[in-house]
Amino acid sequence: MTDARTHRRLTEPRLVIASHNHGKVVEIRALMAPFGIDVVSAGDLGLPEPNETGLTFIDNAVLKARASAEASGLPALADDSGMTVAALDGAPGIYSARWAGPSKDFGAAMELVRTRMGDNPDRSAAFVCALAIAWPDGHVETFEGVIGGHLEF
């Protein structure tokens, strides 16, 4: 979204976490507290959750951050994350939460991964986490981390 010449420093004392996940907000609030940043969630502000229609983790994080920044008039931080499995051509990928179902049963999601992998010997996988921070003026910055690993069932 941006390059090194356009990075922006967060100077506002308040940051919206574009999430309705209370646990996630509590964790981010604790991380931001030493910097004197007041964290409020999109859920606490009554902001709707946008549809995650992006094709990548970055796309979905940007969608959520922009929606919260525009609706609140404050900078907003959003994430999108999930697991990619080589033997499943990168699935579940951006659909990881959907594989866990409405009850967010990630044990069931992992069972589905195991079942779909069958006897494929390739057990390589990665966890991807994308972050986006958006300002109400439309400026967005993104970050993505990937950690590779090996599935054992």
pLDDT in tens, 121-134: 999 999 999 999 99
Q: Quick check: 88 and 105 in contact, CB under 8 A?
A: no
> Rounded distance, CA 60 to CA 51, Å?
9
Q: What is the pLDDT of residues 100-111, one digit of tens each?
A: 988 889 999 999
Give the per-residue pLDDT at 104. 85
For residues 53-74, average pLDDT: 98
DSSP-assigned letter for residue 137? T
Catalytic residue of the set 3, 38, 44, 80: 80
Give the per-residue pLDDT at 1. 53
Q: What percentage of the chain carries pLDDT values higher than 70? A: 97
80 as an active site residue: the answer is yes
Give the per-residue pLDDT at 12. 87
Query: What is the distance, to the nearest Å, from the Cα of residue 71 to the centroid of all Cα atoms in its chain?
Result: 19
* pLDDT class of 77 with cuts at 50, 70, 90: very high
Classified as helix, coil or strand, 85 is: strand
For residues 27-54, average pLDDT: 95
* pLDDT class of 141 with cuts at 50, 70, 90: very high
Per-residue pLDDT at 3 exceeds 80:
no
Other beta carbons within 10 Å of 1: 13
The half-sphere exposure of 81 on its side-chain side, counting CA atoms within 13 A, is 14
Classified as helix, coil or strand, 38 is: strand
> Rounded distance, CA 92 to CA 112, Å?
10
Per-residue pLDDT at 144 exceeds 60:
yes
Q: Quick check: 115 and 140 in contact, CB under 8 A?
A: no
